[in-house]
Amino acid sequence: MDLSLPSEALNWRRRAKAFAEEHLFPHEIELEMNGSLPAATLDRLRRAVREHGLNGVNHAREVGGQGCSQLEQTLIGEELGKATGALWAIVPHPAVALKHGTQQQIDAYLRPSCLMERRACVAVTEPGAGSDPRTILTRADMRDGRFVLNGEKWFVTSGDVADYLIVHANVDGDPDKPTLFLVDKALPGVRIAREPKFTHTYVFGHPEFVFENVEVGDGQVLGAVGGGLELTKDWFVEARLQIAANTLGAAIRAFELANAWASERHQFGRAIRDFQAIEFMLADMAVEIMATKSLVYRVSWEIDSGVDRKLVHARASALKLQASEMAGRVLDKAVQIFGGRGYMRENAVERLNREVRVDRIWEGTSEIQRVIIGGQLRKRGTDIFTGWD
Ligand SMILES: Cc1cc2nc3c(=O)[nH]c(=O)nc-3n(C[C@H](O)[C@H](O)[C@H](O)COP(=O)(O)OP(=O)(O)OC[C@H]3O[C@@H](n4cnc5c(N)ncnc54)[C@H](O)[C@@H]3O)c2cc1C
């Protein structure tokens, strides 16, 4: 049994690491202090993404992507996840649902998104529908051969910089017809209502959108009418894998910084790592990261080996739960090891500590991951989590 990483995967890791260190880390403080980056800097970073060949890693080469395996995507996500301010969001990851587009939609949306000429955002959540997307109220009514969209969407990540949205709406207001629509942001009736501030520093925004009588043709339906929930679930799975990789990277960076600081910092005449209280924290951090990394790599490898989709869904929840909660615990310890310096925004550990908090909320809260895992235990038994064939 050879568990070493393939050389091609290691090449991707090197490439992502170099990109993060050369292009993302140098902008962290500027972003933290100003809350945003100048347009010229963002343009330069986007060009750098293309130069490093990191655009569209989750899509096939035929549609403008890089055709990376899941394991390669995980290694890339781990390296990029080390950056603060969510600078990794500059590297586009066009929604997996776009794979189900018609040829026309692939040409008009997916390919240009992979090539960074266009950018999508995904609009599912509403004021009244969060963990339970089946209760959305946004509707698409057929009038004179066109769909007319009305509704409100919240927390639309990168909605400020995207030029089109993938909107989850119920056709005729019927909850049995959840459907995804490709909606160009410039269309009449599409409006950003508010751009709230959040706990974390994030290179882009999470605005709230309102749709008032927005007309789209039936060529804007992504997948089938009524197929929206299934496509949204696929998006959740991909996003959960990505969160697992990113939070793993965040935890590793914080751990390395805390480990170095524990040697450097002296109190009471010795390095603080000589106090067992500190040493034990470092030991727990090391083991937590090691266990999570094993899980994340294993599930990524299983996906590449073509494991059943339902199994992937269950394990992606386990992965997201474990990685995001592990990162919270590791970051909390890292802050503690840094003492007062761990509370200063100029310290990457302070920023990461704030930033990994959302990973227990978005793309399904920790409670929802447990609901999914619990449901799978009832349906399929323990083996899908504890077995290893
Ligand atoms: C920064 C940020 C960016 C986001 N980006 C996007 C985006 O791009 N697109 C998008 O569509 N959405 C986005 N979201 C929304 C995100 O996915 C939701 O916030 C999340 O799914 C939780 O929904 P909610 O906030 O309505 O909480 P609620 O569903 O109201 O949950 C509140 C609490 O109740 C708990 N709860 C709910 N149901 C159950 C249950 N069955 N069992 C046990 N506990 C339960 C939850 O775990 C939580 O603790 C984003 C959110 C944030 C904060």
What's the 208 CA to ligand 1 centre distance in angstroms? 15
Find the CATH number of the domain harbouring 195. 2.40.110.10
Residue 182 phi/psi, 5-degree rounding, is -90, 115
Residues 95 and 233 in one domain: no
Which of 65, 85, 114 is the last residue in one of the domains?
Answer: 114
Residues 240 and 381 in one domain: yes
Q: What whole-number distance in Å separates Cα of residue 320 and Cα of residue 44?
A: 32
Q: What whole-number distance in Å separates Cα of residue 25 and Cα of residue 35?
A: 15
Q: What whole-number distance in Å separates Cα of residue 150 and Cα of residue 116?
A: 29
The answer to whether residues 181 and 222 touch, using CB atoms and an 8 Å cutoff, is yes
Q: Which residues constitute the domain of residue 86?
A: 7-114
Which of 60, 92, 114 is the last residue in one of the domains?
Answer: 114
Encode the chain (389 residues) as per-residue pLDDT tens digits.
Answer: 889 999 999 999 999 999 999 999 999 999 999 999 999 999 999 999 999 999 999 999 999 999 999 999 999 999 999 999 999 999 999 999 999 999 999 999 999 999 999 999 999 999 999 999 999 999 999 999 999 999 999 999 999 999 999 999 999 999 999 999 999 999 999 999 999 999 999 999 999 999 999 999 999 999 999 999 999 888 899 999 999 999 999 999 999 999 999 999 999 999 999 999 999 999 999 999 999 999 999 999 999 999 888 889 999 999 999 999 999 999 999 999 999 999 999 999 999 999 999 999 999 999 999 999 999 999 999 999 999 87
Residues 168 and 290 in one domain: no
What's the 214 CA to ligand 1 centre distance in angstroms? 26
Residue of 96, 124, 125, 200 best suited for mutating to test ligand 1, as the one with most atoms within 8 Å of CB: 125
Distances (CA, A) of 62 to 14, 107, 222: 24, 11, 19
Q: What whole-number distance in Å separates Cα of residue 8 and Cα of residue 258?
A: 31
Tell me, yes or no, whether 100 lies in a domain. yes
Ligand 1, closest atom to CA 366?
Answer: 47
Tell me, yes or no, whether 282 lies in a domain. yes
Name residues whose C-beta falls within 8 Å of residue 136's C-beta, 6 or more positions apart in sequence: 124, 126, 129, 151, 168, 169, 170, 178
CB of 198 closer than 6 angstroms to any ligand 1 atom: yes
Q: What whole-number distance in Å separates Cα of residue 345 and Cα of residue 11?
A: 33
What's the 129 CA to ligand 1 centre distance in angstroms? 8
Which of 87, 114, 141 is the last residue in one of the domains?
Answer: 114
Residues 240 and 343 in one domain: yes
- Residue indicated by tokens 């959840």: 178
